[in-house]
Structure 1
Amino acid sequence: MTTDPRVKTLPPQFDRFTDTRDMLDHARQQSVEYGLDDYFIVDVDSHREPNAHWREVLEFMENPVMRSNSLATLDARGTMMYVPYPAPGGSGASSQSMHGRVPHQDPQAEAVEGVTRHRDIELSRRAMDAIGINVQVVFPTSLLGLGMSPLAEGEAQAAYAYNRWMIEAFCAEEPRIKFMPYLPLRSPEMALRIVREFAGKPGVVGFLVTSIRYSPVHDNQFMRLYAAIEETGLPLAFHAGPTWDDDWMKTMNRFISVHALSFVHCNMVHLTNWIINGLPERFPRLKVIWVESGLAWVPFLMQRLDHEYLKRTSEAPLLTRLPSEYMREMFYTSQPMECDDHDLLEATMKAINAETQLLYASDWPHWDFDLPGSILGIRFLDAKAKRNILGLNAARLFNLPEGPDAD
């Protein structure tokens, strides 16, 4: 039997020690097949897990007592104090990896030798090069549950420290990595400080609200924050996540059910409050992105809110248009894109003005990540729409100098 020299022998099973380049070997082949070198591709949602570098993060924690407590907890237990563990979503996080069969939350432990740059920068570059990505926006996996921390000051201190670490250790060293500083909504003053301090810093392309939280986004205490973000010209992103701790989710007996609904549920609540309370009218220049909720829920919510609004307009007095019209001006990331029924997908993309409002996202390195081929393989999209979704929409939204002009 002869062996084709073009076929690479891969390990029989991927685990946290597998080299990213081996794990993404098929992605690299697809990149060549699709000719991705001819596209400008921005990945608007990828993840790096900060827990392996939490000691570095704690160097930026300002409160000396909380920093000392955090270091002691890290030394004794190996856990991140003030960050709900396991996070996000309580026991839901431990179910992501399917009992070890699919790497997800486990730290990547592959060998990185002979590299002077930060280990995680090298891992990010390996993934970007294999997938065919020019620019990658990075979110912190475990911190997506930080909004459920029992201590508001703990959330604020951890958020500020992580933001500084990402900007100074990552973005300043790798121009292809972009970042949205985490906003601790339960500490509006700290959130406002973060906007004012980090807007304009290397790699900062927007600001992040983690959607696993019970803070009502329309509360008056956040209005100065939104005004400050609007002044920067940068977008505000709401990143969804899984939780088994919500009372509704606790009724479910399978993680597949939680995963299907919790990612969508939290962003549906925040978006509904955002629109019905007239925030698009109060902050018309503030661009909003809804991250990692898929797309199938958006047309449903458009119809549902329009239907209710037309019967009870007095309860949303600030609105001058239908809720769906505001939603069509918002931005949505593609992952995880529900594409099993192309007729429904086509109707969904038409409803959200995908050609100008949809942003490609991989969600690497999570188990359900999507390659650029998930966009290029859609038959009903023309060439211009595919280029916009893969990178040009994000280039305009984030004002990326690397992005070519859409025309």
Structure 2
Amino acid sequence: MKYDVISADGHVDLIWLPPDLFTRNASAAFKDRMPYVVDGPKGPEWTSSKGAKFGLVNGMGSAGREYVPGVIHRSDRMASTGLYDDGKKGIRRLTEPDLRLKDQDRDGVQAEVLYGILGASGRLNDPEASTEVLRIYNDWLHEFCKAAPDRLIGLANIPNHDMDVAVTEMMRNARRGVRGFDVANKPDMTPLWDPFWEPLWQAAHETGIPIHFHTIGGRSPDTSKMPHHVVRRVQAAHITHFQMHMSYMLMALIYSGAPERYPNLKIVIGEAGLGWIPYVLQHMDLEWEDQFKDLDLKMKPSEYWHRQFYATYQTDPVGIRLLDLLGEDNVMWGSDYPHPDGIWPDSQEFLDRELDSIGAETRRKITRDNAMKLYRLAN
């Protein structure tokens, strides 16, 4: 495959999957605990027997919201391609390989790294059923990517409630050649400094397959009793802040000593943005030098970042100005297709504008070479 641009952050959302995928493929013990589709007041919607809500079939973003013209600019731009109209007709552009590839072509992209349905599986509030959901999804993803393995780079979805279960699912997917693990991330999960994670780090080290944590932000505040004008302020602060949640995860993981113990461990923080990372690395180095040299780190915290970590972004002109501190080998661009804060189908315009000041070799690393190396792609 001849690559010019690779998007290191694309999405497959549960609401765009075949409506009977989970009920059709679940084992007998779990069939009545799977997500399924019912008729709702605004059209078909995904739900579960325990009342979990996943959103409208083929709706907007990971939560399957209703698309309302004029509310979100980027969604309007995506809608102009017929994305949501097609969805209402049952045309699943995200999850039919030939249609997905056409949307890559529309954006000037030759391949995507595909994050999955971990947020939706968490809303089940049923860890055993969620494990079954992820198993079914990973099997579907494997077949989906086989249609174009050089262009559809699926990340196997890994639960985090039980490390034995997590490692079993990792190794099952590793044996069939998966190129990355997407690990469940939620606001109240076990902190990454906890020894709970040790089996996962070890498995990733031994397989050499990168682990991904996609940003989700912190817990959403309860706005049910707030007046509308206050709710909008809360929403603005929450949405603007959500990438900052990844800073604690980055610090906790490096301070855990896992990168020191497992030098073949590779970590990607997805859709994290870039601009905040140099400050966090500098401050970690400062605190380590000042008072935490008793930790089992043989290098500065920032040196583990440069050796083993990656961040993806879709638009971040401030971060691009800090590439000398970030490391041009540690950054990968992604369009975030088809989420409302993404830049599809205008990615090339954003890239030309934001990467105009850097050299051609550095641009190739960010938009192609780093992803090719990490995911073992051949040009």
Fold in common (TM above 0.5): yes
The 1:246/1:285 distance shift into structure 2, 3 A limit, reads farther
1:18 aligns with: none
Tell me how far apart the structure 2 counterparts of residues 277 and 84 of structure 1 sit (CA, whole Å): 34
Tell me how far apart the structure 2 counterparts of residues 83 and 388 of structure 1 sit (CA, whole Å): 45
- Residue 112 of structure 2 is aligned with which of 136, 159, 163? 136
2:46 aligns with: 79
1:8-407 aligned at under 5 Å gives the runs 40-52=4-16, 53-62=18-27, 64-70=28-34, 74-75=37-38, 78-81=45-48, 85-86=53-54, 93=63, 101-102=71-72, 103=75, 108-110=84-86, 120-140=96-116, 143-147=118-122, 149-168=124-143, 170-175=144-149, 176-201=151-176, 204-215=178-189, 216-245=191-220, 253-265=233-245, 267-314=246-293, 317-339=295-317, 341=318, 345-346=320-321, 348-354=322-328, 356-370=329-343, 371-377=347-353, 378-401=355-378, 403=379
- Tell me the amino acid that sits aligned with residue 128 of structure 2: E
Q: How many residues align?
A: 348
Secondary structure of 2:20's aligned partner: helix
Task: Render the CA deviation track for 1:111-137: whole Å, top value 9, x for unaligned.
Answer: 799x9x996323311211111211111
Secondary structure of 1:369's aligned partner: coil
Task: Render the CA deviation track for 1:254-290: whole Å, top value 9, x for unaligned.
Answer: 322111112321x212211101111111111111111
CA-based RMSD of the aligned residues comes to: 3.5
8 Å CA contact 1:45–1:362 kept in 2: the answer is yes
Secondary structure of 1:237's aligned partner: strand
Unpaired runs of 5+ residues, structure 2, are 56-61
The 1:313/1:224 distance shift into structure 2, 3 A limit, reads same
State the Cα distance separating 1:93 from its structure 2 match: 4.9
The 1:264/1:99 distance shift into structure 2, 3 A limit, reads farther
1:20 aligns with: none
Identify the range of structure 1 (371-380 vs 96-105) with the bigger mean alpha-carbon deviation. Answer: 96-105
Tell me how far apart the structure 2 counterparts of residues 291 and 284 of structure 1 sit (CA, whole Å): 20
Tell me how far apart the structure 2 counterparts of residues 318 and 326 of structure 1 sit (CA, whole Å): 13
Secondary structure of 1:127's aligned partner: helix
The 1:352/1:380 distance shift into structure 2, 3 A limit, reads same
Secondary structure of 2:299's aligned partner: coil
State the Cα distance separating 1:190 from its structure 2 match: 1.8
Sequence identity (%): 22
8 Å CA contact 2:12–2:95 kept in 1: the answer is no
State the Cα distance separating 1:181 from its structure 2 match: 0.7
8 Å CA contact 1:294–1:333 kept in 2: the answer is yes
8 Å CA contact 2:214–2:269 kept in 1: the answer is yes
- Tell me the amino acid that sits aligned with residue 190 of structure 1: V
Tell me how far apart the structure 1 counterparts of residues 134 and 95 of structure 2 sit (CA, whole Å): 21
8 Å CA contact 2:268–2:312 kept in 1: the answer is no
State TM-score, norm by structure 1: 0.74
The 1:84/1:243 distance shift into structure 2, 3 A limit, reads farther
State the Cα distance separating 1:231 from its structure 2 match: 1.6
Secondary structure of 1:136's aligned partner: strand
Tell me how far apart the structure 2 counterparts of residues 209 and 327 of structure 1 sit (CA, whole Å): 19
Secondary structure of 2:281's aligned partner: helix
8 Å CA contact 1:39–1:387 kept in 2: the answer is no
The 1:221/1:246 distance shift into structure 2, 3 A limit, reads farther
Secondary structure of 1:178's aligned partner: strand
1:11 aligns with: none
Task: Render the CA deviation track for 1:307-332: whole Å, top value 9, x for unaligned.
Answer: 22222225x51111221221223443
- Tell me the amino acid that sits aligned with residue 317 of structure 1: L
State the Cα distance separating 1:143 from its structure 2 match: 3.3
State the Cα distance separating 1:148 from its structure 2 match: 5.7
Secondary structure of 2:26's aligned partner: coil
2:58 aligns with: none
Larger proportion of strand: 2
Task: Render the CA deviation track for 1:167-186: whole Å, top value 9, x for unaligned.
Answer: 12x11222221111111010
State the Cα distance separating 1:379 from its structure 2 match: 3.1
Unpaired runs of 5+ residues, structure 1, are 1-36
- Tell me the amino acid that sits aligned with residue 139 of structure 2: R
State TM-score, norm by structure 2: 0.80
